[in-house]
Structures are given as structure tokens and as C-alpha cells.
Amino acid sequence: MKVLFCACEAVPYAKTGGLADVAGALPAALRRKGLDVRVMMPRYRGINRNGLEPVQQVYSVIGGTALEGAVWMGTSSDGVPHYFLDQPFLYDRGGLYGEGGRDFEDNLVRFAFFCQSALGLMHKTWTPDLVHCHDWHTALIPAYLRAHRNPLPTLFTVHNLAHQGIFPGEQFPLSCLPPETFTPDGLEFYGNVNVMKAGLVYSHALSTVSETYAREIQTEEFGAGLDGLLRARSADLFGILNGVDYALWDPSVDPHIPARYHAGDLAGKARCKAALQQEMDLPVQAYAPLIGTVARLAPQKGFDLVAAALDAIVATGAQVVILGAGEPAFEEAFRAASARFPHQVRVIIGFDEGLAHRIEAGADIFLMPSRFEPSGLNQLYSLRYGTQPVVRRTGGLADSIVDATPENLRLGCANGFVFDDYTPEALVAAIGRAVAAYRDPLLWRSLQQVGMRADFSWDRVAGRYLELYDATVRRAAERPS
Ligand code: ADP
Ligand code: GLC
């Protein structure tokens, strides 16, 4: 089966969050299963053309403006062919989706051109058997195919329903879709254009990145205004938890960390912790529980709880290291917290791949108190690094972290600490349990062993995508455009 995998970020070329990790690893795992999967993404600033081959020219008229671009091809180190869409005016910028905390104003044009170009590529250079689209940036592809009566099977994966690509209704012509699609059954959404709806309405099958999130988004609380549509398509909506690329995220091979270690010998972890304390200018104390977190500073991630709970967390004697960038209000709150507790709290504002790995390795406890979390990757990375996660029971966190209740401990399946209520009190109680467990070396050791020996590899997950691709092809055959 030939699959065009369209995503607007992918490791190692461009990354703002977990989508890049997924698009960097899942195609390779699918190729290992024998599929011919190729990735298409924009050529952003920083993706060098050296070593790429020109493939074809593309051309579209969007909102009366003629846009020309070129597709270049390269192969990633794990053997995945990548098509890069080159259009410097649209993509050679200081950010992927925006700059300085603001989205680019022409994002509809930028991603409509990307989707039009994907069609051009499939028409002229390489015709796949299925297109796998990820998030709103690629959601116009299924709509264009439908508009052209092209029955090519399409799967649309939602990584985050909080980002739907909403634009003022007047911009609808920039979507390049026929006017009859600007209705509540199509892209219209309270007078605006909702680009994600194009993917949700016109794809043959839908998926999201955990089973729990697949259920949650069909409720008013988590549906972000699209729960009715998602309920209507419930029979076509699947949930598959993300996997881990253990070539990049495993302390026995990780080049970013100061000492390697594995489940059989954790001595290196103690060295990673001391090095992290030193790097963060915190007292180098082996016995102080070190709580780490790495995340986009967005409301999704539960940082309002962390800010509200910080005094109580610090009172447990723990040290706290936070790496993140995003909303200025969170950045400011955490900078202030860091200044208030200079010996216990360190906040690094920015995006730093190496430090993200060093926190995974050096921390004892990883914090993910998300309000919602479609899948989450850091809790899975933490398990492999022997860093026990404290998470809220939602989305992919609920599907991967097993609370250290007496019952689960007896069964040998506990791997972290889970809380339910979205309140600072519930977070503090869970952290209190984690810190108490940390101070019981035998108990802690057994939690680490369960986590480090678990297998969340993409090779295990890829088989489920194969089944989903087959199901998508069947649906397309049953319901031709
Ligand atoms: P999301 O996609 O919602 O941001 P995930 O847990 O799926 O959440 O994935 C986040 C990915 O982005 C992880 O690989 C994480 O390490 C990385 N990341 C997030 N913020 C930063 C940061 N400030 N510096 C380095 N890496 C980061
Ligand atoms: C999103 C979600 C995150 C998920 C990632 C990759 O950004 O917030 O939970 O892991 O996409 O699927």
C-alpha cells in the first residue's frame, strides 16, 4: 500500500510539539511493515535544500493571487522519503504557524496552498492508495478530493481539537472550495470558516490519538463545538494511543544525557539527576525529590494548577524544574515563582530539545496535570527514563498511566500517580503520594521497573494503523465520492 502522510511538522525537520514526534516516527514504523509511506510537509526556514532533489513545480490561484512553488524530495536517516513544498514567501519565516505568540494572518492561504500542492503532487508525481492527513493544516485535502469526485481513500487524524483553523467567514474564498460547502454541513461554523471541519466531514475515516480522547471529544465538555459532528461520525472514528521512538527516547542510547542507564542498572540516573541539579543551579541533593516538566505553556497543560499549587509542592521539600514556552501570562507567573523559591524552583522559558531529554533523565517525578491530553508523549518517555509520572486522568494519560493504588501495586501494574479533579488540592494530594513513594526506595524501585520495562514502541502501534488503513479503504469503496 502506498500512503501519502501529510503533516505540517515532523522530526527531525521542524517541531513545535508532539505531532512532529509522531510524523517523525510512525511513517518509518509503517515502512518497516512493508508499506510505501512518504511524508509531505512545507519546507520551512532551516530545512536546507542541499541534498534534496527537485521533483515538480506546483501552481495555484488563491484569492486571485497566483502562487507558484516547487516540491523537493529527500530521504530521512531512517529511510522515509519526504516531499518538501518550497514557497519561500509562505514558509520561509521565523515560526511554523506564527511568531511572537501570534498566528500568521495568512495561515488559511499558507495551508490551502499546501493542500492544493499535495493534490498536484498526487496528480503528477506519485499517486498513493490512501492519504493520511494530520490536523487542520492538512484538512482541506479530503475536501478537494471530494470536490473533484476523486475517490482516493482519506484518513484524517485529530491530534488536538483545540486547534481547528478558524477564520472569518469573508475568507472562505481563500479555501478554494465550492461555495456550496460553506454551510453548517460543510466548513461553516457560527459564521466563520472552520478548516478542521473539512477533514472531519469529507474524510472516509477519522482517528485520534487515544481511545479515551476519541470518546471524550464526542462530549460537550471536550468537543470544542464539534462534538455533534463527531457523534454523527462515531462509527468512523477510531482511537489509537501514540507510540515512542526508542531510538530517540531511551536512556540507554540517548546522546543528550550525561550518563546512560537502563532498567537493570540505574546508577547513571543518579548521575543525570546530580548533573541536572547542577545545570539548574539547584542544591545537588540526591535525597530531594526532583519534579520535572516539559511542555508548551498552554491552558491545555494544566499550568494554572501548577501555579496555584506551587507553594504546597515546595513545602514537600521537592525541587521543581519547568521547561516550556508559550502564553506570556504563564511565562510571567513561572518566572516570578522561580524568583520566589530560588533554592527549589527553576523555570527555563524556551524550546530546548537537549534539556527536554536531560529533564526526562534527571527528574524523579514528571508532572502532566493536563486539563485535556489527546495522547501525550512525555508521560510515555518518562516511563522509559524511570521518572514516574503524576498525571490527571484524561485522554492518553488515562490510557497509559496506572495509579499506584494498593490494588495496582499488588497486581504489579502501577507505573505512576493519577488524580481526577481539576483542582490544585487534587494535584497536591497526588504529588504528596508520589513524594511519599519516592521516600520508600523499594516501592519506588518497583514502580520504575514496571515503567522502564513497558513497551510503547511505534512498531507495536503500527499494526493498528495498518488495520485502520484497511478499514479506510473499505469505507471508501462502500461510499465513493
Ligand atoms: P503536545 O503535542 O501537546 O505539545 P506531547 O506530550 O504530545 O504534547 O509532545 C510534546 C513534545 O514536545 C515532546 O517531545 C516534548 O519534549 C516537546 N516539547 C514541548 N515543549 C518543549 C520545550 N519547551 N522544549 C523542548 N521540547 C519541548
Ligand atoms: C497534540 C496533543 C498531544 C499529542 C500530540 C501528538 O499536540 O496535545 O496530546 O500527543 O498532539 O499526537
Is 254 a member of any domain? no
- CA separation for the pair 251, 71 (Å, rounded): 37
Ligand 2 interacting residues, C-beta cut-off 6 A: 17-19, 22, 159-160, 209, 242, 373-377, 396
Residue 119 resides in a domain: yes
| C-alpha span between 125 and 116 (Å, rounded) | 14
Q: Which residue has the cell 503532487?
A: 121
Task: Write out the chain's pLDDT in tens, 481 residues.
Answer: 999 999 999 999 999 999 999 999 999 999 999 999 999 999 999 999 999 999 999 999 999 999 999 999 999 999 999 999 999 999 999 999 999 889 999 999 999 999 999 999 999 999 999 999 999 999 999 999 999 999 999 999 999 999 999 999 999 999 999 999 999 999 999 999 999 999 999 999 999 999 999 999 999 999 999 999 999 999 999 999 999 999 999 999 999 999 999 999 999 999 999 999 999 999 999 999 999 999 999 999 999 999 999 999 999 999 999 999 998 999 999 999 889 999 999 999 999 999 999 999 999 999 999 999 999 999 999 999 999 999 999 999 999 999 999 999 999 999 999 999 999 999 999 999 999 999 999 999 999 999 999 999 999 999 999 999 999 999 999 975 5
Please, are residues 223 and 153 in contact by the beta-carbon 8 Å criterion?
Answer: no
**Lookup: cell for 140:** 482541506
Would the CB of 302 count as within 6 Å of ligand 1?
Answer: no
Q: What is the DSSP string of 28-84?
A: HHHHHTT-EEEEEEE--TT---TT-EEEEEEEEEETTEEEEEEEEEEE-TTS-EEEE
Does any domain span residue 259?
A: no
- Residue 447 exposure: Cα atoms within 13 Å on the Cβ side: 32
One domain, residues 155 and 281? no
191 and 301 belong to one structural domain: no
Measured between alpha carbons, how far is 383 from 377 in angstroms, rounded to an integer? 10
Residue located nearest, by CA, to atom 2 of ligand 1: 18
Q: In angstroms, what CA-CA distances link 160 with 95, 109, 224, 440?
A: 19, 21, 10, 38
Q: What ligand 2 atom has the least distance to the C-alpha of 396?
A: 9
**Ligand minimally distant from the alpha carbon of residue 210:** 2
Rg value, the chain, Cα: 23
Cα of 296 to ligand 1 centre, how many Å?
A: 6
Query: Domain of 133: which CATH number?
Result: 3.40.50.2000
- Locate 82 and state its grid cell: 519526504
Q: What is the pLDDT of residue 101?
A: 80
Is residue 300 one of the residues assigned to a domain? yes
27 lines ligand 1 (CB under 6 A): no
**323 and 400 in one domain?**
yes
- Pick the ligand that lies closest to the CA of residue 163: 2
Q: Is residue 257 part of a domain?
A: no
How many whole angstroms from 368 Cα to the centroid of ligand 1? 11
Q: How far apart are CA 234 and CA 214, in angstroms?
A: 9
Calculate how far, in angstroms, residue 354's C-alpha sits from the geometric centre of ligand 1.
Answer: 12
Q: Which residue among 348, 351, 359 has the greatest number of ligand 1 atoms within 8 angstroms of its CB, and so is best to mutate?
A: 351
Residue 318 lies inside a defined structural domain of this protein: yes
Query: Considering only CA atoms, which residue is closest to atom 5 of ligand 2?
Result: 18
Contacts of 71-78 with C-beta under 8 Å, sequence gap 24+, read: 71/40, 71/117, 71/120, 71/121, 71/125, 72/43, 76/12, 76/24, 76/28, 76/39, 77/12, 78/28, 78/247
- Tally the domains of the chain: 2
Q: Are residues 463 and 430 in the same domain?
A: no
Residue nearest to atom 11 of ligand 2 (CA): 159
**How far apart, in whole angstroms, are the C-alpha atoms of residue 100 and residue 29?**
35
**Ligand 2 pocket: which of 159, 211, 240, 242 to mutate (most atoms <8 Å of CB)?**
159
Do 318 and 228 fall into the same domain? no
**Closest ligand to Cα 374:** 2
Task: Round to whole Å and give the CA distance between 310 and 339.
Answer: 13
Atom from ligand 1 closest to the CA of residue 301: 3
Which ligand lies nearest the alpha carbon of 295? Answer: 1
Q: Say if ligand 1 is within 6 A of residue 374 CB.
A: no
Q: Which residues contact 21 (CB under 8 A, 6 or more apart)?
A: 11, 15, 242, 245, 377
260 domain-assigned: no
**Which ligand is closest to the CA of 394, given by its number?**
2
Which residue from 97, 249, 377 has its CB within 8 A of the most atoms of ligand 1, so it is best to mutate? Answer: 377
User: Closest ligand 1 atom to the C-alpha of 242?
Assistant: 7
For ligand 1, the distance from its centroid to the CA atom of residue 243, given in whole angstroms, is 14
Residue 432 inside a domain? The answer is yes
Give the DSSP letter of residue 14. Answer: B
Length of the chain: 481
Report how far ligand 2's centroid is from the alpha carbon of 154 (Å).
20
Q: Is residue 192 located within the same domain as residue 310?
A: no
Q: Which atom of ligand 2 is nearest to the CA of 374?
A: 9
Distance 63 CA to ligand 2 centre (A): 32
The rounded Å distance from CA 356 to ligand 1 centre is 8
What pLDDT shows up at residue 480?
Answer: 58
**CA–CA–CA angle 97, 103, 105 (5° rounding):** 105
In terms of domains, do 43 and 185 share one? Answer: yes
Residue 446 sits in the same domain as residue 471: no
> Which residue has its alpha carbon closest to ligand 1 atom 26?
353
429 in the same domain as 470:
no
Same domain, 71 and 191: yes
Residues 208 and 299 in one domain: no
- Grid coordinates of 386: 524511570
- Is residue 143 in contact with ligand 1, taking CB distance under 6 Å? no
Residue 209 belongs to domain spanning = 2-243+459-478
| pLDDT score of 479 | 78
- Reduced to 3 states (helix: H, G, I; strand: E, B; else coil), residue 350 is coil
Q: What is the residue with the minimal CA distance to atom 20 of ligand 1?
A: 295
Output the CA 18–ligand 1 centroid distance in Å: 6
Q: Same structural domain for residues 221 and 349?
A: no
Counting ligand 2 atoms within 8 A of each CB, the residue from 8, 11, 19 with the most, and so the one to mutate, is 19
